[in-house]
Amino acid sequence: MLRRFVVKKNECGVLLRDGDFECLLDSGRHYFVDPLRRLALQVWRLDAPMSDLNTVDYLLRHQPQTAAEHFECMVLGEDEAGLRYEMDILVEILPPGSRCFFWKGLLVHRLERIDLTAQAALPAALATRLAQPNLRGRPVTGLSGLLLTQVPAYHLGVLKVDSQVTQLLQPGMAAFWRFNRDVQVELVDTRLQVMEVSGQEILSRDKVGLRLNLAATWRYTDVQLAFEHLSKPAEHLYRELQLGLRAAVGTRSLDELLENKQVIDEVVSAHVARKLPGLGIEVSGVGVKDIILPGEMKTILGQVVEAQKAAEANVIRRREETAATRSLLNTARVMEDNPTALRLKELETLERVAERIDRISVFGGLDQVLNGLVRIGQAR
């Protein structure tokens, strides 16, 4: 019985006899005598990778010339990564140990091998192309094998490979291979920064519980030195500010702290100045923002302040009353010996009375008003 098998132009066929590999069939019509119907055809698209690795391995071992004629073999070692190109367009990043086989004829495939033992960084041009995968006409698969990082302006990137600081990254785009290594990049702001030490519950020397909020202004002077000595420099600075604040508050009474808050800033600044030299960190300013007292202590202090202010008000009131009495006595003595002064006082009194009256009717002239006022006063 004559059988016909048809393979399209964008396909390649694998002829099977009793389910086992027999040969490869190019595009076209193929005729075979198969009275027992032992033959079968398996078709593969030429624009897709060959997923039947058993067939490829058989050809590589027993028919290497056929395998080289039909397949582009991409086999990577344990210390290699691959950049796979189709028609000179990067389409995939292959991890170490990859075994990929692509049909020849329809597309031009190319593999660029990368030695992972040589360096961890990708070339700057390649990193820039991979930084915006969504803007490419065809996405690149396998980007999980890369660490892409953007270092902003006024920042530095601390590159750690297998937990070791290897270099500082300048502002810009950078990419690193993740295969066979642990790669991390920590961004560091080189400008002045503010660190808040908030909600610190501390007992004063006289056993009064206080809650304080502290703010410090700091910056890195040597980023690489800081990360060589400290795993987390910012956390180390936070702890030192805490310890300095406790040393300042715990050795002083509440009255001392309330009378001179500046002493806390001075003690904390002196403490961090002793602890931070040689660590690549500089503290330019320290200040206490709030000192929060317990509720009952606020009430007691309010009563004390109220009593103090009341006593001060009484002293001032008595002083003013004494001064006023003395002034009246001096005025009386002057008017007793000087009729003109007495007359002027009468006029001043009349002026004050006139300010409170809407309408005044005068009979006999102003002189009669004054004389009558004086006589009325004498009669009373």
Burial group, residue 249, by CB count within 10 angstroms (0-12, 13-18, 19+) = buried
For residue 18, CA distances in Å to 38, 58, 67, 119, 253 come to 5, 16, 22, 50, 97
Pairing between β-strand 39-45 and β-strand 71-75 as defined by DSSP bridges: unpaired
| Predicted pLDDT at 365 | 57
DSSP bridge pairs for 92: 84, 141
Residuewise pLDDT in 10s, the chain (380 residues): 788 989 998 888 888 888 888 888 888 898 888 888 889 998 989 888 888 888 888 888 988 898 888 899 999 999 999 999 998 899 999 999 999 999 988 889 999 999 998 888 888 888 888 888 777 888 889 999 999 999 999 999 999 998 888 889 999 889 999 999 999 999 999 999 999 998 888 888 888 888 889 999 999 999 999 998 898 999 999 999 999 999 888 888 888 887 888 888 999 999 999 999 989 999 999 998 888 777 665 565 666 666 777 777 788 888 888 887 887 777 777 777 777 776 677 677 777 777 777 666 666 555 655 565 555 444 44
- Alpha-carbon Rg of the chain, whole angstroms? 48
How far is the first Cα of the chain from the last one, in angstroms, to the nearest whole number?
Answer: 157
Residue owning tokens 């398996």: 42
CATH topology classification for 193-293? Tetrahydropterin Synthase; Chain A (3.30.479)
- Which residues, in sequence order, are CB contacts of 240 under 8 Å at separation 6+? 271, 272, 275, 276
Q: Are 225 and 274 in contact (CB under 8 A)?
A: no
| Predicted pLDDT at 214 | 92
Domain extents for the chain? 193-293, 338-380
Output the six-digit token pair for 219. Answer: 């910056």
Question: Quick check: helix, strand or coil at residue 314?
Answer: helix
Output the six-digit token pair for 263. Answer: 């002493």
**CA triplet 373, 377, 379: central angle to 5 degrees?**
115
Instruction: Estimate to the nearest angstrom the gap between the alpha carbon of 84 and the chain centroid.
Output: 37
| Predicted pLDDT at 377 | 45
Q: Are 70 and 103 in contact (CB under 8 A)?
A: yes
Neighbour tally for 220: CB within 10 Å: 22
- Give the Cα separation of 230 and 281 in Å (integer): 11
The closest alpha carbon to 52, from 98, 111, 101, belongs to: 101
